[in-house]
Structure 1
Amino acid sequence: MAQKSATIQDVATVAKVSTATVSRALSNPGLLSDSTREAVLEAVRTTGYRVNLAARNLRMQRAGAVLILVPNLGKPFYSQILQGISDGFAGSDYAVLISDTESRPLHEAELAGNFTSGRIDGVVSLDGGLSPAVLDACRAADVDGRIVFACEWVDGYAFPSIQSDNAEGARLAIRHLADLGHRKIAHITGPEGNVLTAVRRRGMMEERARLGLPAREDWIIRGDFSLQSGHEAATKILAMKDRPTAVFCAADTVAFGLIAGLQAGGVRVPADISVVGFDDIDMSEFYVPALTTIRQDRVRLGRTAAARLLERIEAPQDAPQAEVLLPVDLVVRASTAPPP
């Protein structure tokens, strides 16, 4: 004969409290005193009571799931951010769903429909390229308050965002190269129209101006955060009569492609040209030469985004709206040296 499962009434009897108090202890423990909360949790352990999440979500009109939008799951950059997001939701009752917006772009009302149909309770978007039509549909459905951007963001929309200090990272990179003695510094950008591209380029130009460094247009080379764009930039630099002595790349993957292309063309890094990346992905430390780069704390970025979204789901009236700007660090390795 099957053993009867413990009920919320059983927990209330053991803890000597009402069933309403048990419910509060399990859903909003901060509303109770420490002694009452501990009494209820001990009763849960004693009785073996298990919360029926499906029933609770239905009662509270929740889906019990959050959606993470990632521009390209194949890029190693996103792994630590996703780890941080997973950590941030580990102690909650929310399942974490992930969607690749590059392989499956969102249709105009699709994201809003996921909210209104009860599939999800919130979104963390790592994709700053979401179309205005998608975001306007979320606003029209009054679900935009449960969307948080992390890493990237969308200009013109007041969604909360968790960002690394990209402009300061670019300034640190240029300052490091200038301190080594470089004045002829090139820059390989990210993709046109990307918010990270714009902010990192702005920081780079601000620091050049502050230090009185020359800023030649032919030393600003368009890239797209890919190995291929770095390799193509190497071809352009090798063809220059007056080559830069250092290059600041808008992403580590661009730097890897650049170094491979330069060394294939007989140019040594850092003996002939120094190279700085941005992101400090795992490969940066083990590349040859080990890459000097700007480190983002991507795990912290993901955890912070998860915490902000939980605030907006659980207590939207108290959740802050403004962006969070996380510090970055310069990591000096073997790819930079004084100019020849």
Structure 2
Amino acid sequence: MNHKPRIKDIAVKAGVSPTTVSRALSGSGLVAEPTLSQIRDIARLMGYYPNISARNLRTQKTMSVLIVVRDIGNPFYLNIFKGAENAARDAGYSILMANTEDDPKKEADYFDMVSHGHADGMILMTGKMPHQCQIPEDTAQKVLIALEMIDGADFTHVIIDNEAASHKVIEHLVGLGHKKIAHISGPVPEGMSIRRRAGFENAMAKFGLPIPQDYIQRGAFSYQSGEEACRKLLQLDDRPTAIYAANDEMAFGAIRAAKTMGLSIPRDLSIVGFDDIYLADGFVPALTTIHQPCMEIGRCAMNRLLAHLTGENPKIETITIPTEIIIRETTAPPV
């Protein structure tokens, strides 16, 4: 083909009408599978790119979605972005990264961008709603919450079961023979921290294991806070034989603290993290941790948001993505 591919060229190749092609490539939700995927695949192979400016003028859409996080430098978000971007690109949307840095004004500003039509929708991953922000009623179809449940927020959620994941950690450690298990939580009162701690406490009660005073230390999801919390735990008269940290960064800090205090991991102390960030497998020793399927979370969140935006599925619901424990080198039976 010696000219720029057009919608009618794709229609001829797919054996459908130009109108059907236009609907498929616009993310209208009016074209069903397998025709939808067939048209998108043909368009991609032919090198077709829609005229975004013209389409935006016709539809009054920006064809862009905000992904809002607290810290864009956190490597945990990388695969979520990848999964969301893949789904967005297939529907002709682009992604705008938004970083709040826990700044209430920034949080409110991003909601205003959606309300004022500067972005079509938002995937919110900060774990909280902005304070003193008037959210229009129709925003419920434009905002999706991912990763962290926000109690009282009437939006679709794509999350994991943090309590069940914590139970898997304790079950693994108890199976190895540990009875003295401590927990480094995230910052409280954040919902994710509370749920992971609740899962720890409930699992310990289920297995009939006590939680001595000071066996729960509060961290901040940072390497430094994990290191500091681990030092406090290892200075106890009856120190634990295993530590469950509420994220991988704190687990890495705990490993460093244990090593600097002369302990060997996992011979003297078992440590488990949460998230399975890309460093977990390359860390020495490789970290036992809870794996969150980040690509799937991102993909599911974007597809679900697009279904809202196109009117294909306006139902507000909570979708729970399963997790698994990845056993590596930081856990072993107690000596």
Give your verdict on TM over 0.5: yes
* Distance in structure 1 (CA, Å) of the matches to 2:83 and 2:14: 36
* Aligned position for 1:52: 51
Distance 1:249 1:288 in 2: 17
2:92 paired residue number: 93
The answer to whether the 8 A contact 1:112-1:141 is kept is no
Provide the rounded CA distance (Å) in 1 between the counterparts of 2:44 and 2:178: 65
Alignment of structure 1 residues 24-63 onto 2, 5 Å = 24=23, 26-27=25-26, 28=28, 30-31=30-31, 51-63=50-62
Contact map agreement 2:147 2:158 (CA 8 A) in 1 = yes
Separation of aligned partners in 1, 2:34 and 2:182: 59
Q: Where do 1:57-206 residues align within 5 Å?
A: 57-102=56-101, 105-107=104-106, 109-134=108-133, 137-138=134-135, 140=136, 142-206=138-202
Is 1:209 the counterpart of 2:205 in the alignment? yes
Q: Distance in 1 between matches of 2:71 and 2:299?
A: 20
What is the CA–CA distance in structure 2 between the aligned matches of 1:45 and 1:283, rounded to whole Å? 35
Contact 2:246/2:273, CA 8 A, preserved across alignment: yes
Cα displacement (A) at 1:210: 0.8
Q: Aligned partners of 1:79 and 1:43: how far apart in 2?
A: 27
Kindly provide the CA deviation profile for residues 58-109 of structure 1, in whole angstroms up to 9, marking residues without a partner as x: 2212111110101111111111111111112121221110011107654575
Distance 2:287 2:54 in 1: 52
1:123 alignment partner AA? M
> Counterpart of 1:172 in 2: which secondary structure?
helix
Give distance in 2, aligned partners of 1:330 and 1:42.
39
Letter of the aligned partner of 2:150 in structure 1?
Answer: V
Alignment gaps of 5+ in structure 1: none
1:307 maps to which residue? 303
- Cα pair distance change 1:143/1:211, threshold 3 Å: same
- 1:149-178 per-position Cα deviation (integer Å, ceiling 9, x unaligned): 111232111211111221111001001111
- Superposed, 1:237-276 pairs within 5 Å as 237-276=233-272
1: CA distance, partners of 2:96 / 2:126: 15
Give distance in 2, aligned partners of 1:4 and 1:181. 69
Q: Distance in 2 between matches of 1:234 and 1:256?
A: 10
Residues 236-275 of structure 1: CA distance to partner in whole angstroms, max 9, x if unpaired?
1232111011111101110100010111011222111111
Relative to structure 2, which stretch is displaced further, 80-89 or 11-20?
Answer: 11-20
- SS of alignment partner, residue 267 of structure 1: coil
Which of residues 247, 264, 277 in structure 2 aligns to 1:281?
277
2:329 counterpart of 1:330: no
Query: Retained in 2: the 8 A contact 1:186–1:248?
Result: yes
Shift of 1:292: 0.9
Aligned partner of 1:200: which letter? R
Q: Distance in 2 between matches of 1:98 and 1:87?
A: 14
Q: Percent same amino acid among aligned pairs?
A: 38
Change (3 A) 1:51 1:81: closer
| Alpha-carbon distance in structure 2 between the residues aligned to 1:198 and 1:205 | 10
Amino acid at match of 2:326: V
Pair 1:42–1:308, CA change in 2 (3 A) = closer
Normalised to the residue count of structure 2, the TM-score between the two structures is 0.87
Retained in 2: the 8 A contact 1:108–1:133? no
Report the secondary structure of 2:274's partner residue: coil
- The question of whether the paired residues in 1 share the 8 Å contact of 2:141 and 2:314 is answered with no
Give me the whole-angstrom Cα distance separating, in 1, the residues matched to 2:32 and 2:231: 66
Structure 1 position 304, deviation (Å) = 0.6
SS in 1 for 2:279: helix
Q: CA deviation at 1:110?
A: 2.2
Q: Report if the CA contact (8 A) 1:14-1:43 is conserved.
A: no
- The AA in structure 1 aligned to 2:304 is R
Q: For the residues of structure 2 that align with 1:38 and 1:176, how far apart are their CA atoms?
A: 45
In 2, are the aligned partners of 1:292 and 1:333 still within 8 Å (CA)?
yes
Whichever of the two has the greater Rg, that structure is 1
TM-score (norm. length: structure 1) = 0.86
Q: Say what the alpha-carbon RMSD is for the aligned residues.
A: 3.4
- The amino acid across from 1:173 in the alignment is V
| Matched position secondary structure for 2:275 | coil
| Aligned residue in 1 for 2:222 | 226
1:21-73 deviation per Cα after TM superposition (whole angstroms, max 9, x unaligned): 664464448448989x989x989999x98643222222212111110101111
Distance 1:308 1:32 in 2: 15
